[in-house]
Structure 1
Amino acid sequence: MDLSCFKAYDLRGRVPDQLNPELAEKIGRAYVEVTGAKKVIVGYDIRLSSPEIAESLSNGLMAAGADVFDIGLCGTEQVYFATSHYKMDGGIMVTASHNPKDHNGMKMVGPESRPISSDNGLNDIRDRVLEPFTDAPKQGGREPLEVMSAYVDHLLGYIDAGSLTPLSIVCNAGNGGAGLVIDQIEQHLPFDFIKVHHQPDGHFPNGVPNPILPENRAATADAVIEHGAAMGIAWDGDYDRCFFFDENGRFIEGYYIVGLLADQFLRKTGGGKVIHDPRLTWNTLDLVKAAGGEAIESKTGHAFIKQRMRDEDAIYGGEMSAHHYFRDFAYCDSGMIPWLLVAERLCQSGQTLSSLIDARIEAYPASGEINRTIDDPAKVIAAIEAKYSPDAKSINHVDGLSIEYDKWRFNLRMSNTEPVVRLNVESRADKALMEEKTEELLAEMHRLNEAG
Structure 2
Amino acid sequence: MDLSCFKAYDLRGSVPEQLNPALAELIGRAYVEITGAKKVIVGYDIRLSSPEITKALSSGLMAAGADVFDIGLCGTEQVYFATSHYEMDGGIMVTASHNPRNHNGMKMVGPESRPISSDNGLNDIRDRVREPFADAPVQGKYETLEVTRAYIDHLLGYVDAAALRPLKLVVNAGNGGAGLVIDQLEKHLPFEFIKVHHQPDGNFPHGVPNPILEENRAATADAVIEHGAAMGIAWDGDYDRCFFFDENGRFIEGYYIVGLLADQFLRKTGPGKVIHDPRLIWNTQDLVKAAGGEAIESKTGHAFIKQRMRDEDAVYGGEMSAHHYFRDFAYCDSGMIPWLLIAERLCQSGKPFSSLIDARIEAYPASGEINRTIADPPKVIAAIEEKYGAGAKSVSYVDGLSVEFDNWRFNLRMSNTEPVVRLNVETRGDIPLMKAKTEELLAEMERLNK
Same-fold call, TM cutoff 0.5: yes
The alpha carbon displacement at 1:390 in A equals 1.2
1:8 match: secondary structure: coil
Cα distance in structure 1, aligned partners of 2:296 and 2:428: 20
Letter in 2 for 1:142: Y
Which amino acid counterpart does residue 194 of structure 2 have in structure 1? I
Distance in 1 between residues matched to 2:389 and 2:319, nearest whole Å: 26
Partner of 1:258: 258
Superposition pairs of residues 288-327 of structure 1, within 5 angstroms:
288-327=288-327
Instruction: Tell me which residue corresponds to 2:337.
Output: 337
Matched to 1:15, the amino acid is V
> 1:246-276: per-residue Cα shift (whole Å, max 9, x none)?
0000000000000000000000011100000
One-letter code of the match for 1:135? D
In the aligned structure 2, how far is the partner of 1:348 from the partner of 1:231?
A: 15
Partner of 2:414: 414
Instruction: Work out the CA distance in 2 between the residues paired with 1:45 and 1:113.
Output: 18
Distance 1:447 1:24 in 2: 46
2:115 maps to which residue? 115
SS, match of residue 188 in structure 1: coil
Deviation at 1:293, TM superposition (A): 0.1
Work out the CA distance in 2 between the residues paired with 1:99 and 1:270: 39
Q: Check if 1:271 corresponds to 2:271.
A: yes
CA shift, 1:65, in A, is 0.2
Question: Who is 2:389 aligned against?
Answer: 389
Counting only pairs closer than 5 Å after superposition, residues 61-210 of structure 1 correspond to structure 2 as: 61-210=61-210
Which residue of 1 is the match for residue 423 of structure 2?
Answer: 423
How many residues get paired?
A: 450
Q: Alpha-carbon deviation of 1:416?
A: 0.3
**Residue identity (%):** 86
Q: For 1:359-370, what aligned pairs fall within 5 Å after superposition?
A: 359-370=359-370
Partner of 1:224: 224
The answer for the alignment partner of 1:432 in structure 2 is: 432
Structure 1 equivalent of residue 347 of structure 2: 347
Partner amino acid, structure 1, of 2:393: K
Aligned residue type for 1:118: S
Residue identity in the other structure for 2:267: R
- Residue by residue over 1:256-312, the C-alpha shift from the partner in whole angstroms, topping out at 9 and shown as x without a partner, is 000000000000011100000000000000000000000000000000000000000
Q: What secondary structure sits across from 2:449 in the alignment?
A: helix
1:34-78 CA-partner distances (Å, limit 9, x unpaired)? 000000000000000000000000000000000000000000000
| Aligned-residue RMSD, C-alpha | 0.3
| Structure-2 residue corresponding to 1:38 | 38
Q: How many Å separate the matches in 1 of 2:289 and 2:407?
A: 19
Give CA-to-partner distance per residue, 1:129-167, whole Å, 9 cap, x none: 000000000000100000011000000000000110000
Name the CA distance, whole Å, in 2 between partners of 1:269 and 1:315. Answer: 8
In the alignment, the residues of structure 2 paired with residue 360 and residue 391 of structure 1 have an alpha-carbon distance, to the nearest angstrom, of: 27
Aligned residue type for 1:41: I
Amino acid at match of 1:297: E
Q: What is the match of residue 212 of structure 1?
A: 212
SS at match of 2:433: helix
Query: Which residue identity is paired with 1:117?
Result: S
Paired with 1:423 and 1:297, the residues of 2 have a C-alpha distance of 17
Counterpart CA distance in 2 for 1:109 and 1:379 is: 36
Amino acid at match of 1:119: D
Equivalence for 1:14? 14
Structure 1 portions without partners, runs of 5+ = none
**2 CA distance for matches of 1:153 and 1:58?**
28
2:282 aligns with 282
TM-score, normalized by length of structure 2?
Answer: 1.00
Cα deviation digits, residues 377-432 of structure 1 (max 9, x gap): 00000000000011100000000000000010000000000000000000000000
2:322 aligns to what SS in structure 1? Answer: coil
- The aligned amino acid for 2:59 is N
For 2:77 and 2:98, locate their aligned partners in 1 and report how far apart those are by CA, in whole Å: 15
Cα distance in structure 2, aligned partners of 1:439 and 1:17: 42
Structure 2 residue runs of 5 or longer lacking an equivalent are none
How far residue 348 of structure 1 moved from its aligned partner, in angstroms, is 0.5
In the alignment, the residues of structure 1 paired with residue 61 and residue 344 of structure 2 have an alpha-carbon distance, to the nearest angstrom, of 41
SS of residue matched to 1:318: strand
Aligned partner of residue 295 in structure 1, secondary structure: strand
Would you identify which runs of 4 or more consecutive aligned residues in structure 1 move more than 3 Å? Answer: none
